[in-house]
Amino acid sequence: MQRPSPRLLLLLPTVTYRTVAFVEAARRLGVEVTVASERPSTFEQANPAGLVTLDFADPARAARQARAFARRHVLQGVVAVDDDTAVVAAAISEELGLRGNPVAAAAAARDKHQQRQRLAAAGVAVPRFELLTTAEDPERVARRASYPCVLKPLRLSASRGVVRADDAAGFVAAFQRLTAILEEPDVARCGDWARQILVEEFVPGREVAVEGLVTLGVLTVLAIFDKPDPLEGPFFEETIYVTPSRLAPTARQEVAACVQAAVGALGLREGPIHAEVRYNDRGAWLIELAARPIGGRCSAALRFTAGEGGTGNGEQQVSLEEIIIRHALGMSIPTIEREVQASGVMMIPVSGAGVLREVRGVGEARKVPLVEEVVITAHPGQALVPWPEGSRYPGFIFARGGTSEAVEAALRAAHAQLEFLTEPAD
């Protein structure tokens, strides 16, 4: 009797931007794929080996569902794409004995307070922090807070709900604004964490993002992105990522060491990580670390090349998703060397609230030298919501060139061509 082929379980929430990148990467690798989502595909009965519904809200239950599935279809690896599915993937890998992270480590990485506690206990440089509940009196807390500080939800992604306060009045306003976000139905039903607020010291300095791959607890840095737009608040919507970083080599080493220490403190063992680090005259500060790859469409800014020194001349090109899938399945990884060219992405900011009617200037933006692509992900009729309430970028701009400075300038020039026409929401 022929054994069924091993396959990859790909955990794709229905709201992810990552579907095409991961599904097509798996196809390029010739890997058999089962896509798991939290809501059923209408084709699930027609393709029971290729599609499955898992309870992403309950990782232990999802792991049992995956075990039942694996009795019929052998699974050799599991890959997550966001913070919540990272915990589900950990539970499944523990249940099935696959390569992955301990559940406790993935859960601690997802929860900003747990993460801070573990990192602080291990001596990793993190901002001073305090956990509050939304039931507390903000005016009372504001009197004893240190300023400037930052108020954060424990789990929301894309800096949704993150607000800086510079004084007591600002603290009360930020507390009330964040509480209102946590009381929105899509958040409030998520559990106790939606009634908690993390208050932490604002750490000044340059911020970078680190993309890495962890194997047996050891971090390999795949890329360090500069974030040239200063993230000073009051809100923390991201815009430009450019790699290679213009930090000095010693500073980059300190950043990498800080992230490695955080990986160890959290107990992460296997898979991709994405970290946000601030660097100032006191060194590297771990702001956040997630047990998942870079989000949105941003992974398209990363390209790895095998052979000929990454010159882009006819060598094999490997995407971040291919590296992650190969790692999960224990396949050899041909390269982790990023291409020689500088590369960057701009998450297009939301300039104002309204319902999107039309985007103008896309053609002109694409003509800007070094710009490779302008992707508008918002659709006509979609409500555009600015930060801190919002978390959806209306699109992405990609550029590549000889230097990080040139790439950054191209992204800004392309963005200047875009005009988002909106009408007031009802």
Residues of this chain that bind other proteins (CB under 8 A)? 12-17, 19-21, 23-24, 27-28, 33, 35, 37, 39, 41-43, 46-47, 50-51, 82, 157-158, 238, 295-296, 312, 314-317, 319, 347, 362-363, 366, 371-373, 375-377, 379-382, 391-393, 400
Sign, Cα dihedral of 401, 402, 404, 406 = negative
Side-chain-facing half-sphere of 231: CA atoms under 13 Å: 27
The Cα–Cα gap between 104 and 266 comes to 8
Min separation Cβ 79 and other proteins, Å: 14
Pairing of strands 7-11, 33-37: parallel
Min separation Cβ 346 and other proteins, Å: 13
Q: Which is nearer to other proteins, 363 or 424 (CB)?
A: 363
The Cα–Cα gap between 286 and 108 comes to 14
Min separation Cβ 190 and other proteins, Å: 14
Extract the tokens encoding 206: 């340059």
Q: Do residues 117 and 127 touch, judged by C-beta distance below 8 A?
A: no
Alpha-helical (H) ranges within 267-374 are 320-329, 362-367
Q: Phi and psi for 243 in degrees, rounded to 5? A: -130, 145
Min separation Cβ 144 and other proteins, Å: 33
The Cα–Cα gap between 382 and 197 comes to 29
Q: Which of 126, 90, 129 is nearest to 106 (CA)?
A: 90
Min separation Cβ 168 and other proteins, Å: 31
Extract the tokens encoding 127: 């901002």
Q: Which is nearer to other proteins, 118 or 400 (CB)?
A: 400
Min separation Cβ 117 and other proteins, Å: 24
Pairing of strands 304-306, 316-318: antiparallel
Min separation Cβ 158 and other proteins, Å: 3
CA angle 27, 275, 87 (to 5 degrees): 60
Min separation Cβ 204 and other proteins, Å: 24
CA 90 to each of CA 106, 215, 335: distance values in angstroms, whole numbers, following the listed order? 7, 14, 25
Min separation Cβ 261 and other proteins, Å: 25
Name every residue whose Cβ is closer than 8 Å to that of residue 287 and which is 6 or more positions away in sequence: 126, 127, 203, 207, 275, 276, 277, 278
| 188-199: burial string, b at 16+ Cβ within 10 Å, e else | eebeebbbbbbb
